[in-house]
Amino acid sequence: MLRRHFLGLSGALALSPLLAGASRAAEADHVLKAAPATARLMGPDKPATAVWAFGGSNPGPTLRIPKGKPVYVRLDNALAEPTSVHWHGIRIANAMDGVSGFTQAPVKPGESFDYRFTAPDAGTYWYHSHHRSWEQVARGLYGVLIVEEDTPVAVDHDLQFVADDWRMDDNGQLAGNFGMIGEAAHGGRLGNWLTVNGDTKPKLTVRAGSRVRLRCVSVANARVMAFSFPGLNPVIIALDGQPLTTPEPIGTALVLAPAQRADLLIDMPSTPGTELMVHEVSVGEPIDAAAFTLIGPALRDKPLSEPLILPANPLSAFAPELAQAEHVELLMQGGAMGSLAEARFEGKMFDLRTLAMEKGRVWAFNGVAGQPSDPLVTMQRGRTLTINMINDTRWSHAMHMHGHHFQVIERNDKPVSGAPWRDTELVEPGDKVRIAMVCDNPGKWLFHCHMLEHHMAGMGTWISVA
Ligand code: C2O
Ligand code: CU
């Protein structure tokens, strides 16, 4: 009773503008300072790399926040340019979504911004700059956001595996030329150096026989990565933060498109001293990504084998109502070797060459390049929306919806059932993927390709929920 009363009261306080002003003096739960920093991305015996960072490290500090309770994170901008923070995958209040120039003004150098929000769903999320993200994320402005389950999940180790794809020069510094239009018309800024947790081939030390929850996050600008775990049998227990009702083995490799997450459950062998490599296998020869080092004494003689199913999130209560749904099409066009001849940009038609050379845009949705002034669709709150994404380009796109999770319900016109909830879906060249979601979160929400150069060069639209 008391507890409920207290929660009710704090909810009421948060809604009162007067009292909210008064509580601004209160300490933030977390402070993220964005500033230039150095990081030993290439390992301890190589030169440190100049990066931009939250909290002085790469990745930025892992924020652990409770589910369903208000948190206050203050951003202090000590960069020489504006920035903002987007809480990727959180069904957040619109004003806190962190999209500079859209849901908030860019946070100028020397200024601060108070992010106050409640994360309704437990799981693995991330935060990143949403201001010139193709450069700011590439320079390192991101970190992991963990929304904790109400009761701790029964694992022995809770580890993160944050994969980034950097482009380094010969001196171990970030290569310049961010946001090149030529690259944006292809696969985006692909790197030449892989880090995991801001390190090169880190050793992840775990007890032999332990049960590990590995929170995998791709923070790459553009590369679709794939990880194999020879000698281990990882099982996916959550995707994009949301628990799977039926955990699934990864198969030959875990594919992670930019911004996607997967929580893996890995039961380690019981022999201490073993070292097990994780490989990145998306291109040709496998690359060593990280290694698990098993130390003794073993926690168990025999690894656990029973499945682990994470507690359901409030999200799982939403069932898209397809019979009454609103349907829209999203024709994805443009890029190199594509068929797009011309597109509308800021109300005028341009041929593709002029669009690329003068406007820096090479991609279009439904014939419009860049973020349109009108939304793709306006939805009444609570109604179901389906979007049929038709990839008429020669490139893959990692489509991300802000403020909502969705389910794939059709692939190439064939129904799909029981698909996981996601916030980012990889759409392959030539594919048609229809997603469905319940638009229960009022506000204006970006829907864009998370290959950040693609977004920069035109692959972004938005929906409005009234
Ligand atoms: Cu992870 Cu619009 O972003
Ligand atoms: Cu794309």
Tell me which amino acid residue 6 is.
F
Q: Closest Cα partner for 228 from 310, 167, 163?
A: 163
Tell me which amino acid residue 15 is.
L
User: How does residue 128 score in pLDDT terms, banded at 50, 70 and 90?
Assistant: very high
Q: For residue 166, how far is the Cα from the chain centroid?
A: 17
- What is 9-148's CATH number? 2.60.40.420
pLDDT at 9 over 50: no
In DSSP notation, 51-109 reads EEEETTBSSEEEEEEETTSEEEEEEEE-SSS-B-EEEET----GGGS--BTTTB--B-T
Closest listed ligand to the CA of 335: 2
Atom of ligand 1 nearest to the CA of 99: 2
Range 54-69 average pLDDT: 98
**pLDDT score recorded for residue 284:** 84
Helix (H) or strand (E) holding 20: helix 17-23
**pLDDT score recorded for residue 13:** 43
C-alpha dihedral, 202 to 207 to 211 to 214, nearest 10°: -10
110-120 tens-digit pLDDT: 999 999 999 99
Range 113-133 average pLDDT: 98
Which value, in Å, is the radius of gyration of the alpha carbons in the chain?
22
Q: What is the pTM of this model?
A: 0.94
Half-sphere exposure of 251 (CA within 13 A, CB side): 5
196-212 tens-digit pLDDT: 999 999 999 999 999 99
User: How does residue 15 score in pLDDT terms, banded at 50, 70 and 90?
Assistant: very low
- Residue whose Cα lies nearest atom 3 of ligand 1: it is 88
Q: Is the distance from the beta carbon of residue 261 to the nearest atom of ligand 1 less than 6 Å? A: no
280-315 tens-digit pLDDT: 999 989 999 999 999 999 999 999 999 999 999 999
Separation between Cα atoms, residue 325 and residue 172, nearest integer Å: 51
Choose the CATH number for 318-465 among 2.60.40.420, 1.10.10.10, 3.30.70.2190, 3.40.50.2000: 2.60.40.420
Q: Which two tokens stand for residue 84?
A: 């903002």
Sign of CA dihedral 30, 31, 32, 38: negative
**pLDDT score recorded for residue 21:** 45
Q: Is the distance from the beta carbon of residue 446 to the nearest atom of ligand 1 less than 6 Å? A: yes
In DSSP notation, 265-281 reads EEE--S-TT-EEEEEE-
**pLDDT score recorded for residue 20:** 45
Q: Are 195 and 164 in contact (CB under 8 A)?
A: yes
User: How does residue 318 score in pLDDT terms, banded at 50, 70 and 90?
Assistant: confident
**pLDDT score recorded for residue 25:** 47
pLDDT at 23 over 60: no
**pLDDT score recorded for residue 451:** 98
The reply to whether CATH 2.60.40.420 applies to domain 157-310 is yes
What distance in angstroms lies between residue 451's CA and the mean position of ligand 2's atoms? 5
Q: Is the distance from the beta carbon of residue 454 to the nearest atom of ligand 1 less than 6 Å? A: no
Average pLDDT, the chain: 94
- Partnered with residue 357 across adjacent β-strands are none
What distance in angstroms lies between residue 400's CA and the mean position of ligand 1's atoms? 7
pLDDT at 224 over 80: yes
Residues in the chain: 466
Atom of ligand 1 nearest to the CA of 448: 2
Q: Which two tokens stand for residue 247?
A: 């955990």
User: How does residue 316 score in pLDDT terms, banded at 50, 70 and 90?
Assistant: confident
- Residue whose Cα lies nearest atom 1 of ligand 1: it is 88
Atom of ligand 1 nearest to the CA of 259: 1
Sign of CA dihedral 299, 300, 301, 302: negative
Atom of ligand 1 nearest to the CA of 89: 1
pLDDT at 86 over 70: yes
Q: Where do you find CATH 2.60.40.420 in the chain?
A: 9-148, 157-310, 318-465
User: How does residue 14 score in pLDDT terms, banded at 50, 70 and 90?
Assistant: very low
pLDDT at 8 over 70: no
136-184 tens-digit pLDDT: 999 999 999 999 999 999 999 999 999 999 999 999 999 999 999 999 9
